[in-house]
Amino acid sequence: MIDARPYQLDAVASVWRFMERGYGNPVVVAPTGAGKSIIIGLIVADAIRMWAPTRCLVMADAKELIEQNAEAYASVSPMAPYGIYSASVGPREFVHAVTFAQIQSCYDKAGLFGYQDFIIVDECHMINPKQMGMYRTFIEGLKEVNPDLKIVGLTATPYRLGHGYVFKGDESLFTGVAYDIGIETLIAEGFLVMPIARAGTVHADTDKIEHGSNGEFKEASAQAEFSRITDAAVSDMIARLPDRKSVLIFACSLDHAAEIAECLYSHEETAIDVVTGTTSKGEREAIVERVRSGVTRWLVNCAVFTKGFNAKNIDAVVLLRATESAALFVQMVGRGLRPFPGKKDCIVLDYGENVTRHGPINAIKPRPKREGGSNAPREVMAKECVNCQAMIAVGCKTCPHCDAAQPVSEAIPNHSDRPSDAPLIGNAEQCIWKDVIDVRYDPHGMHTVASKRSMKVSYRVGTAEWVSEWICPEHNGYAREKAAKWMEKRGYNLMEVDAALLVEWPKPTRIKIKYGGKWPEIIDHEVSIF
């Protein structure tokens, strides 16, 4: 048996509360490295224990995730039997009460699995909310046998490129977020290490790279542009990572991965491995073992190891590629965030303007497709400090590194050749967690015809210190989205102000307050709905 972390137990409890209240199919949002496999194992163990006989399928799209989730369930319930259905892993078992299945192997075989009570989908952002695809084909087949099938999703990134949040819209399989744990909290509590981003002294000009119909950069076009800088980038990373023991490099194509490896060899580097989607199962397993044991220092990869790859000793991530997908960006950075003895942080070297494009990983929002074609302007999410040249969140008024005041004008893309440090945790130095002593809920704007109504929530965080936020479910746009997320985090669907004032909302244990502006701003809450 394992000792589950407190937030993992909270996540499981929140899932059951969400379902008991009739809110539909929940999503659990937890950063890479938070132990989603353990959360999955605990959910399955609870379901089997509380509602026997229960049949449960745990789905994923990667071999590594299937193996990790099965191992985690075995550690949570050592004596419980289970099966694996995956061509990549080997077995094709489907008669057990608990089965870990790879969607590519079974999407057209729903009839084989018969009646199922639960489906748990790891990396649930992979489900296309508007097209059938493999997941929807499989789930619709299972619903023919059990129309009341329950679905739980887990992901570090609850959004898809060009679609938005996976729990929004009539087409979505999911109806809300049951639990969301912030990356800053896991870093502060020692469950993850701090990512520190540095721009390369050279970088690709991503304005020259063509986009596909899905909004992502085209591979051939990206390879042409990144090949132009590969040798210089390799020289740069060697010079700037002298103390890093295990470096994971993301290439933009198979040929580009081979090119990077050749450049490393030409600079007399050794301990190099290359893994791609064409690498055999046996060789991939051998490479993973060499990385984990410290034999391999430079691991070049393409199209793999963005998820399900768990080598805790990775202490540097190199982005020698570009992506428009915020989810993929977070997953790549997340490969280096797990703690390991002697590891204090993870350096992220970015040669593809990804930090500028997406911003801090704790503040990423879904990015819509470009309107007006691939050359249309895109909002810039990071800017360069006017004093110390560190890359900071575009909305920062004060640099978190040197405290220099920043211009408030809109940032422009940074095409400087100077290296810079980019905090991948946005402006955390100005934010403070405080314990909540008391909470008040009051109507606001109820008697003013000109303004829409809202609910004022006031938190007492000191003997005489109160900070407030306004929850605006009857507004439009961002204010309404914020209200929906606020309520979903507490286990409720979006409701109007009159109904919200009657709810006995769970009191948060702590809130994160951002100081330095005209008024203190509440930017995060720790809430358990049990």
- Rounded-to-integer distance, Cα 127 and Cα 109, Å: 18
Q: Where are the beta strands (DSSP E) in 244-397?
A: 247-250, 272-276, 298-302, 316-319, 345-350, 382-384, 391-393
**Over pLDDT 70: what percentage of the chain?**
86
Is the pLDDT at 526 greater than 90, yes or no? no
pLDDT digits over 136-177, tens only?
999 999 999 999 999 999 999 888 877 788 888 878 899 988
Q: Could you tell me the pLDDT band of residue 409, with boundaries at 50, 70 and 90? A: very low
Contact 419, 201 (CB under 8 A): yes
State yes or no: cis peptide before 53, omega within 30 of 0.
yes
Reported for 403-408, long-range contacts at CB under 8 A and 24+ positions apart, including other chains, are none
| CA terminus-to-terminus distance, the chain | 24
- Rounded-to-integer distance, Cα 456 and Cα 424, Å: 32
The stretch 426-454 carries a mean pLDDT of 74
What angle in degrees, to the nearest 10, is found between the helix axes of 63-76 and 36-50?
Answer: 50
Of 107, 119, 101, the closest CA to residue 44 belongs to 119
pLDDT digits over 315-343, tens only?
999 999 999 998 899 899 999 999 999 99
What was the pLDDT predicted at 125? 92
Q: What are the structure tokens assigned to 182, written together?
A: 């912030």
Say how many C-beta atoms besides its own lie within 10 A of residue 270's C-beta.
9
What was the pLDDT predicted at 416? 34
| Choice between 528 and 201, residue whose per-residue pLDDT is larger | 201
What was the pLDDT predicted at 363? 66
Is the pLDDT at 428 greater than 50, yes or no? no
What was the pLDDT predicted at 360? 74
Q: What are the structure tokens assigned to 3, written together?
A: 């000792």
- Rounded-to-integer distance, Cα 81 and Cα 99, Å: 9
CA–CA distance from 214 to each of 132, 160, 270, 320, 370 (Å)?
Answer: 16, 11, 38, 21, 10
Of 346, 76, 339, 10, the closest CA to residue 197 belongs to 346
511 has which bridge partners? 434, 525
Structural domains in the chain, CATH included, are: 6-181 (3.40.50.300), 188-426 (3.40.50.300), 431-526 (no CATH)
Q: What are the structure tokens assigned to 148, written together?
A: 């009341």
Of 309, 183, 319, the closest CA to residue 249 belongs to 319
Is the pLDDT at 217 greater than 80, yes or no? yes
Q: What are the structure tokens assigned to 340, written together?
A: 């390991």
What was the pLDDT predicted at 198? 86
Q: Where are the beta strands (DSSP E) in 115-207?
A: 118-122, 150-155, 159-160, 164-165, 176-180, 194-199
φ and ψ of 380, to 5 deg:
-90, 135
What was the pLDDT predicted at 230? 97
Is the pLDDT at 73 greater than 60, yes or no? yes
Is the pLDDT at 388 greater than 60, yes or no? no
- Mean residue pLDDT of the chain comes to 86
Q: What are the structure tokens assigned to 14, written together?
A: 């929140």
Is the pLDDT at 55 greater than 90, yes or no? yes
Q: Could you tell me the pLDDT band of residue 529, with boundaries at 50, 70 and 90? A: low
- Beta strand 247-250 with 298-302 is parallel
Q: Could you tell me the pLDDT band of residue 383, with boundaries at 50, 70 and 90? A: low
Contact 122, 92 (CB under 8 A): no
